[in-house]
A and B are shown apart, each in its own frame.
Chain A
Amino acid sequence: MTRMGGLNTSLSIGLQALDTAQGALTATSNNIANVNTPGYTREVAQISENGENQTGDEVTGGGVTLDGLQSIRDELLNIQIQQQTSLQSSVDTKSSSLQQVQTFFTSSGDDIASGITALSSSLAQLSASSSSTAAQQSVLSSGQSLADAFNTTAQGLTTAQLDADQQVPQTVTQINSLTQHIAQLNTQLGQVPAAEDGGTTQDQLDQLVQQLSGLTGISITQGTDGETITTGNGTPLVIGGQSFNLQTTTGTNGFQQVLDSNGNNITSSIEGGTLGGAIDIRDQVIPGFQSQLNTLATQFATAFNAAQAKGYDSNGNTGSNLFSVPSNTNDAAAGISVAITDPSQVAISSDGSAGSNGNVANLSAALTNTLPSGKTPAGAYASLVFQVGNATSNASTESTAIGQNLTQLTTQQGAVSAVDISEETTNLLRYQAAFEAATRIVSTIQVLNNAALNMGSGTSY
């Protein structure tokens, strides 16, 4: 004769069912609670069937076990999102700086093109009324406007460069704070057995790493003691439970340099993120514009002064320099100024006689002749306008493209990890039903137990 499992077995299965349903309800309620928490990945109750009980020839089910709650995440997607985030914040940093820069190259009445226009018109006017002091004064005033426009534009570039420079130490401070926090979480995760899910700690870590990737380009490897995070060129930021602070110091060029924890200058190798974008703008993009602007200021002033020297002013003296430029080319655009104050010093005459206007043509030609750069002053400036506009437009287009890519990746990540209220509501109902049913098992077994205990007493029914 065989014996089936006893009532106690059923009772124990019922209790396991209660525990499991309760655990699953915990996961569901936690999911619903965190539906809007950034970085939260949904948890799913891991439920498995217990081994069968075999008694003699009898095999009975062993009930159910809640193995744990598993967070559902895709690490590969996370890495892609981190990479795109680095790119995006780098491009956005450049884009916002270039937006600022391009206003100085926008036709406004105070820009360099307007300055050249005013000077060119005033010289044409001077050719028609060379004896008029007002016309001579107008040449000086428009020369002043042009010099001012050069100064303002150079100043605008420098301001944008200094703004980018300020971002460097600020960003480094944020990076250090994040890497310290990440190292702590790494330590905590190190205490979780490898087979188990990191849960909320892992969520927090992923969230911080994503923030970090917005600050600078990073590379992540999974090691035995947690995540190892380095900059794109391999400078360690976090190894397991240890973080390595970056430092900043003022370099020989007056700008903030980034040093690794050993004091090596890694500024030029930093790419991506706000830090990479700011360094690129500061050390590459803006200096490119500055150098062209300075060359233009120097070559134009030299050409115009040479035209002045070909003629004579109203006092019969050889024309003196109308523009003065600093001897250091790097300061040319910022420092160009009008050197003469007396309108009679404009070299109008070609022969020294007071009535001649023969040199006005030479002055005008200085505006239209090609400079040593191979371009006319207007051509050189137009080329600069194109480059600034193109760089700004490219940064903005790139940002849009990366943004779309990022939205796509985030949608994919959401498909894997985000909490779906409808799904959770369904689960809530399922686990509610399971829990209610399990309570019935327990109460039924209780009734049966009572019945068994009272067998034969004759009083129970």
Chain B
Amino acid sequence: MRIDPNLVPTILADLQQSQVSLNTALQEVSTGKSVNVPSDNPAAAADMVQNTIETGDVDQYTQNVSSVLSTVQSASSVLSSVVSSLTQAVSLGTEGANGTNSADNLQAIAAQVQGILSSVVSDANTSVAGSYLFGGTGTSTPFVADSASSTGYTYNGTSDSNVVAVGDNLSVQVNVPGSQVFSDPTSNVLGSLSSLVTALKSGTSADIATATSAVDSALNFVGQQQSVYGNAEKQLNSQQTSLQQDTVTLSTQENNLIGVNEATAAAELSQDETDNNAALAAVAKVLPNSLLNYLQPPT
């Protein structure tokens, strides 16, 4: 059977094919990606859409965790300071209630408790980066002195609290409203301190003892509120770990989807180079061949 004497088209097709493989291998090695356009691997390119979005979210959640963590830690340390103030107030109240104090002593104690009250109010009005830690979702100074109020202070914040997203389905409460921490109807921190000041100034020992016990109960209550922050802190720390794992998982997934194994890619590149060289060498050998090469020119 006669064969096609014209090898050029076939050889050129082979050459082109080998050039295409070589280019693909080069691109994979130079970009470090096996999927540069969707047609390289449509399913992987589609999966990468979700991966990109999640990676962006996880980055932002990680930042949110740090920022919330710092807020929670500030609030927690403020509450610690309130607890120690209240502890001090309780011991001052106990001292004032023991019936051995002179009127001057009591006035002096009252002045100290008044100082503690001011410091607690200042704690309750702490702001971090422009927002009040205990103002609920409000934007004005939470506690303002108000002589008309039974507790001596009016709460201007809200009873709501904001939540911050730290995961796809996880939000943490960043603040406990001041109304809950400092002016709870049964364990009113500011009210009990005000009452203690009043009792110290003008009350009987029994009044002082009652007022002291109210401060003590407020102290316990604040301690409980502090645990809310403690729990939030724990939750945030564990979320931080989980987000770090997510980052690793997403990056591994990305690598599996569109990354290249460098060793394999380098081996493929070298293989394709060899193939290309072989194809070129074949063209050089085949093209000039015909019977003419072996015939003597006519003399």
Which A residues contact B (CB, under 8 angstroms)?
98-99, 102-103, 105-107, 113-114, 116-118, 120-125, 127-131, 349, 351, 353-358, 360-361, 364, 368, 378-379, 381-383, 385-390, 392-393, 396, 403, 407, 410-416, 418-423, 425-426
Contact = CB atoms under 8 A, between A and B. Distances in A.
Interface string B49-75: 110110111011101100110000000
Given A382-B49, A382-B50, A389-B41, A128 B67 contact: yes
B132 to A, nearest CB: 8
Contacts of B135: 355
Given A378-B49, A389-B46, A422 B291 contact: yes
23 contacts: A99-B37, A113-B48, A122-B60, A127-B64, A127-B163, A353-B138, A355-B135, A361-B163, A361-B165, A378-B50, A382-B46, A383-B46, A386-B43, A386-B45, A386-B46, A388-B38, A396-B39, A403-B13, A410-B9, A411-B9, A414-B5, A415-B3, A425-B290
A425 B291 contact: yes
Contacts of B185: none
B156 to A, nearest CB: 11
Given A117-B55, A355-B139, A356-B160, 14 more contacts: A103-B37, A105-B45, A117-B53, A125-B63, A128-B68, A130-B162, A354-B139, A385-B45, A393-B39, A407-B10, A421-B5, A421-B290, A422-B291, A426-B291
Given A356-B160, A358-B160, A385-B42, A418 B4 contact: yes
Contacts of A353: 137-139, 158, 160
Contacts of A385: 38, 42, 45-46, 49
A355 B57 contact: no
Task: Give the interface centre of B10, B57, B131 by most chain A CB atoms within 10 Å.
Answer: B57
Interface in B172-218: none
Nearest to A390: B42
A388 B73 CA distance: 49
A88 to B, nearest CB: 12
B5 A419 contact: yes
A117 B58 CA distance: 11
Contacts of A349: 137
B36 interface: yes
A426 to B, nearest CB: 7
B5 A357 contact: no
Contacts of B52: 107, 113-114, 117
Contact of A357 (B2, B56, B137): B137
A128 B166 CA distance: 9
Given A124-B61, A125-B63, A357 B162 contact: yes
Interface in B246-275: none
B110 to A, nearest CB: 36
Contacts of A98: 39
Given A113-B53, A378-B53, A385-B38, A356 B3 contact: no
A245 B136 CA distance: 80
Interface in B132-163: 135-139, 158, 160, 162-163
B5 A392 contact: no
A389 B164 contact: no
B281 interface: no
A410 to B, nearest CB: 6
Contacts of A425: 290-292, 295
B102 interface: no
A133 to B, nearest CB: 11
A123 B41 CA distance: 31
B171 interface: yes
Contacts of A360: 165
B37 A389 contact: yes
A124 B165 contact: yes
A353 B160 CA distance: 10
Interface of B: 1-6, 9-10, 13, 36-43, 45-50, 52-53, 55-57, 59-61, 63-64, 67-68, 129-131, 135-139, 158, 160, 162-165, 168, 171, 290-292, 295
A128 B5 contact: no
Contacts of B171: 127, 361
B4 A411 contact: yes
Nearest to A397: B39
Contacts of A389: 37-42, 45-46
A122 B291 CA distance: 75
* Interface residues of A, dominant DSSP: helix
A98 to B, nearest CB: 8
B116 to A, nearest CB: 29
A418 B39 contact: no
A312 to B, nearest CB: 12
A105 B50 contact: no
B200 to A, nearest CB: 37
Nearest 7 interchain pairs by C-beta? A389-B38, A389-B42, A414-B4, A420-B5, A392-B39, A386-B46, A422-B291
Contacts of B290: 421-422, 425
B3 to A, nearest CB: 5
Task: Give the interface centre of B3, B39, B42 by most chain A CB atoms within 10 Å.
Answer: B39
Contact of A418 (B6, B47, B53): B6
A243 B129 CA distance: 83
A327 to B, nearest CB: 28
B42 A121 contact: no
A399 to B, nearest CB: 12
A131 B37 contact: no
B6 A113 contact: no
B165 A364 contact: yes
A436 to B, nearest CB: 12
B177 to A, nearest CB: 11
Contacts of B42: 385-390, 393
Nearest to A432: B298
A141 to B, nearest CB: 14
Given A114-B52, A361-B163, A403-B13, A355 B292 contact: no
A396 to B, nearest CB: 6
Contacts of B160: 351, 353, 356, 358
A132 to B, nearest CB: 8
B164 A128 contact: yes
A42 to B, nearest CB: 9
A124 B39 contact: no
A415 B2 contact: yes
Contacts of B4: 410-415, 418
A421 B292 contact: yes
Nearest to B136: A355
A436 B178 CA distance: 122
